[in-house]
Copies of this chain bind each other. A is one copy, B any other.
């Protein structure tokens, strides 16, 4: 049932209204029965009372003799009782004796008490003498006997509805002989990826036609599973109304909730909007959070019987399916999903909020805000030397997929917050309960030796922002280390914990077809060049070499660079210029000998540059910083296997 009435959409809805609208949607699946063996992580749909006694029989709890207690009354060392031995009873075997007055039967732990007997005399207090048992102790009825039902009694409440099943509950249910349990169903969530430009991972990609891989479908699908939902993926929908309508209606018939995600394209969003208006009910369009403006909430479908037919054991129903449209940018989509949708899925599945869903930490930097709407600010986590959690903002709204793994979660910043102070305590809602703070946060130059060193650390995070930006961040005090290549003017308080040198120069096609011999050829000849960005240490080395060349020629560097075709064509990563050359986009690229070797290309050496690892002076004793310091002096093999590297 939909408990939220139709609304006007002129203004963005308040975030609370979005929570309410989603809470008002019916996602609740039917109860199902699953084998006990497969019930871990499920939630009991109803109370389970014991249907049998555990143990199911009066059970000897010691090795000894089954007797009638009355026959031992008054027995002691001085005047033992004497009983006639009539047989024995072993565990797992039905007793073939009945203990009468004046009789006893040998019994082992776990065995069924024979009829007539009501107590066990432990073996240490007896003696056997010619078929007669001498008992030196009086016992009371029930002594050394675990009565039927003493562990769990038939009729007793064993587990309540809503119990989350872990191994121990499964153990108790095993003891009760339960082999199938009634559990809350998992809400079925349909995922529709939209946008003409999206291609599913693994399918061939036509970059020339502007295709990109679909990031949101798998991100959200696995997020749904993490929240306890069951996913159905629908074929990719383009921007065509008929096709979109067909897929959305089918998904609504088959699912409790339909999520669309993927496209940033205005036309795809517009098409969905029209389908929801036509075939369902739009409850919310746009929420006053950043990100979240393009969020849609509504219902879809609702033809009687249609849903039940396709959902298997679901009873016939004419209730519509819930619909939420997520933003297109991956970080935004995951943020909105985790904030608004995942809690509703968990509720429907009967699952508690995971304990690890939020962590507290203090801001590692000051962050200004004051934007007038609720901001769900993506943040990264790290630990300081004392193991306290620090929080820093990550994404400034870009659609970069790398922000997905650079951010660990989201801090809610209220519309009237002007800034978050350095050191201010904040709550971070993690992107996943399984997210961990990295042990090391490194920033700076992108380098093949560094990649190999990082492989040997336990869950490091490295942001290849370039040497210059890395130093800037280190100065702000956030990262543990900055890796800085080439000449640098900036001085930042830090501790040099080691480094290496690497050979740099121009990378050209194999065999050097244009016969490039050095930087002067770039200036003098009609060669297409690919540069690195100004944050790169390699770029700093190139600039320094060009300064030198200009000085030699008594001209300005600007004069020289104006004559290099592609000097402004900058790329972000170490291998990128080489790969541009490989693709025929350029004749020469800035790069490392190691890269040229790796890609079987030609290389013209210009010089060596040093790469130094600078540690945050407050973090030199942090275990991960100590670990990378040790690696820098020990990992000879890493430097040996890369050409042009030295320490």
Q: How far in angstroms is the closest Cβ of chain B from A114?
A: 11
Mark each residue of chain A from 568 to 596: 1 if its CB lies under 8 Å from any CB of chain B, else 0: 11111111101100000000000000010
B209 A112 Cβ-Cβ under 8 A: yes
Residues of B contacting A49 in the complex (Cβ-Cβ under 8 angstroms): 451
Compute how far the CA of A200 lies from the CA of B170 in the bound complex, rounded to whole angstroms.
Answer: 13
B218 A92 Cβ-Cβ under 8 A: no
Pick from B53, B169, B432, B460: contact of A576, CB under 8 Å: B53
A540 within 8 A of B: no
Mark each residue of chain A from 317 to 353: 1 if its CB lies under 8 Å from any CB of chain B, else 0: 0000000000000100010000000000000000010
A362 within 8 A of B: no
Q: How far in angstroms is the closest Cβ of chain B from A635?
A: 15
Residues of B contacting A352 in the complex (Cβ-Cβ under 8 angstroms): 436, 459
B179 A201 Cβ-Cβ under 8 A: yes
Supposing A220-B167, A435-B166 touch, asked if A455 and B160 sit within 8 A by C-beta, the answer is: yes
A218 B405 Cβ-Cβ under 8 A: no
A94 within 8 A of B: yes
Compute how far the CA of A196 lies from the CA of B90 in the bound complex, rounded to whole angstroms.
Answer: 10
B37 A218 Cβ-Cβ under 8 A: yes
Stretch from A78-86, A142-150, A480-488, A543-551 that touches the partner? A142-150
Mark each residue of chain A from 228 to 258: 1 if its CB lies under 8 Å from any CB of chain B, else 0: 0000000000000000000000000000000
Mark each residue of chain A from 170 to 205: 1 if its CB lies under 8 Å from any CB of chain B, else 0: 111111111110000000000000011101111001
Residues of B contacting A112 in the complex (Cβ-Cβ under 8 angstroms): 207-210
A479 within 8 A of B: no
Compute how far the CA of A94 lies from the CA of B51 in the bound complex, rounded to whole angstroms.
Answer: 69
Pick from B53, B159, B220, B432: contact of A166, CB under 8 Å: B432
A210 B154 Cβ-Cβ under 8 A: no
Residues of B contacting A464 in the complex (Cβ-Cβ under 8 angstroms): 156-157
A153 within 8 A of B: yes
A111 within 8 A of B: yes
A211 within 8 A of B: yes
Supposing A170-B218, A355-B436 touch, asked if A91 and B334 sit within 8 A by C-beta, the answer is: no
B455 A219 Cβ-Cβ under 8 A: no
Pick from B150, B400, B457, B572: contact of A572, CB under 8 Å: B150
A631 within 8 A of B: no
Mark each residue of chain A from 54 to 93: 1 if its CB lies under 8 Å from any CB of chain B, else 0: 1111010000000000000000000000000000000111
B175 A213 Cβ-Cβ under 8 A: yes
Q: How many copies does the complex hold?
A: 2
Q: How far in angstroms is the closest Cβ of chain B from A202?
A: 3
Residues of B contacting A431 in the complex (Cβ-Cβ under 8 angstroms): 166-168
Compute how far the CA of A195 lies from the CA of B407 in the bound complex, rounded to whole angstroms.
Answer: 52
Q: How far in angstroms is the closest Cβ of chain B from A377?
A: 16
A161 within 8 A of B: yes
A402 B152 Cβ-Cβ under 8 A: yes
Supposing A334-B167, A431-B167 touch, asked if A218 and B174 sit within 8 A by C-beta, the answer is: yes
Compute how far the CA of A454 lies from the CA of B432 in the bound complex, rounded to whole angstroms.
Answer: 32
Compute how far the CA of A293 lies from the CA of B341 in the bound complex, rounded to whole angstroms.
Answer: 49
A291 within 8 A of B: no
A265 within 8 A of B: yes
Pick from B147, B166, B196: contact of A91, CB under 8 Å: B196
Residues of B contacting A140 in the complex (Cβ-Cβ under 8 angstroms): 568
Pick from B159, B199, B210, B219: contact of A57, CB under 8 Å: B210
Nearest first, the 7 closest Cβ-Cβ pairs linking A and B are A179-B202, A153-B573, A155-B575, A56-B207, A171-B219, A92-B197, A166-B432
Known: A149-B573, A155-B574, A177-B213. 4 other contacts (CB 8 A): A36-B201, A91-B265, A153-B571, A167-B432
